[in-house]
Amino acid sequence: MRLVTLFALSLFVVGTTNATTADTIQNANRLMQKYTGDVPGASLLVIKDGKPLIDRGYGMADLEHHVAATSATDYRLASVTKQFTAAAILLLSQDGKLKLDDSIRHWLPSLPTFAGKVTLRELLCHTGGLLDYEDLIPTGATKQLNDQDVLRMVSATTHTYFAPGSTYRYSNTGYVLLGLVVEKASGLPLQDFLKQRIFTPLHMDHTLLYVHDDKTVPHRAYGYSETDGQWQRTDQDLTSATRGDGGIYSSIDDLAKWDAALYDDRLLSDASRKLAFSPHVKVTGEPYEASYGFGWRITGDTLWHSGESIGFRNVIVRWPKQHLTVVLLSNRNTPEPYRTVLAIAEPFLH
């Protein structure tokens, strides 16, 4: 047991005193106890000053085949995907291929006339007001929706929730449509644009935008939900095939590379990063104080985003001024990990 502990400390925590190392590992392991054992698990990353202090898996990525979760396990990111879709739009803006104040209807002319007042900028910060596609799914539908289904359903709507730009309402619809704009402006399928412009340049070699039956997800975690004390595989549902709002699979190892790129201009210019990380609107109707940037929530000194889809719960929280980032990816429907990450981060903050 002593040898295992020493190995874990040397592998997962770097650059701290032995006492601090033991304390931080013990604190993290205590907080991650619920993910430990023969249960759907999680992968946890703590980066401080560019160094991975904790980088490991807990529990199982695949219960049926007893595959343990590791730092290389790929989880469905769900809405953590939105920061990548936003980055794609910002890259195309940098390229001069589109403008943030373009109408969404300029790019997707099948949308209703009233959508002509909705801009890409408003969709990026959830102030467009377009109806949620989840509420437009026909009763009794059993086939997974794709992005064209979303476009078709939204094109048949007759109103918005509110005047575009007037208030905030979280919108998966907006980010599905932004993904389609990336395709129109770049001439590439969304999954190829993300690979060519973000994943490959950053050497995120095990990250991909999942397209059903097109690519195999490496080291894939499968999602589970607890029902009557038993874990049931719940990996896909009707909305698991849309892309720009939640379709990326990634690992904490690859997200460490993404985090590093957000500190400099290797991917996004200073101006683009400022746009992404600036508070454009106050978040309302959600159970925490925050503003919203482009694909990022902003609370105090933190930039963060959660991601939830059937069988997955994820969060990334960044403290840029302290060069600290904590990522928790999990393949289970509970618990919601945001508070756990804040507690794991606390010993590293000063």
Residue 283 DSSP label: -
Residue 216's pLDDT band (cuts 50, 70, 90)? confident
pTM listed for this prediction: 0.93
Q: Which helix (H) or strand (E) holds 26?
A: helix 18-31
**Residue 288: CB atoms within 10 Å:** 11
The full set of domains in the chain, from first to last, is: 1-39+49-71 (no CATH), 74-317+333-341 (3.40.710.10)
304-321 pLDDT, tens digit per residue, is 999 999 999 999 999 999
CA dist 63 and 68 (Å) reads 8
**Residues contacting 86, CB < 8 A, separation 6+:** 124, 178, 276, 294, 295, 296
Strand partners for 328: 44, 315
pLDDT of residue 11: 36
Q: Taking all residues of the chain, what is their mean pLDDT, rounded to a whole number?
A: 93
pLDDT of residue 7: 28
pLDDT of residue 20: 61
The answer to whether residue 2 scores a pLDDT higher than 60 is: no
Q: Give the residue, 8 or 62, on which the prediction is more confident.
A: 62
pLDDT of residue 350: 78
DSSP 317-342: EEEGGGTEEEEEEESSS-S--HHHHH
pLDDT of residue 264: 98
The answer to whether residue 9 scores a pLDDT higher than 60 is: no
Helix (H, G, I), strand (E, B) or coil at 132: coil
CA dist 191 and 292 (Å) reads 25
pLDDT of residue 172: 98
pLDDT of residue 14: 42
CA dist 139 and 171 (Å) reads 21
Of 12-16, 169-173, 287-291, least confident by mean pLDDT is: 12-16
pLDDT of residue 214: 61
Contact 215, 208 (CB under 8 A): yes
Mean pLDDT for the stretch of residues 200-223: 90
The answer to whether residue 18 scores a pLDDT higher than 70 is: no
Beta strands per DSSP E along the chain: 42-48, 51-58, 60-62, 67-68, 75-76, 208-209, 224-227, 230-233, 248-250, 281-282, 291-292, 297-299, 302-309, 312-319, 324-330
The answer to whether residue 19 scores a pLDDT higher than 90 is: no
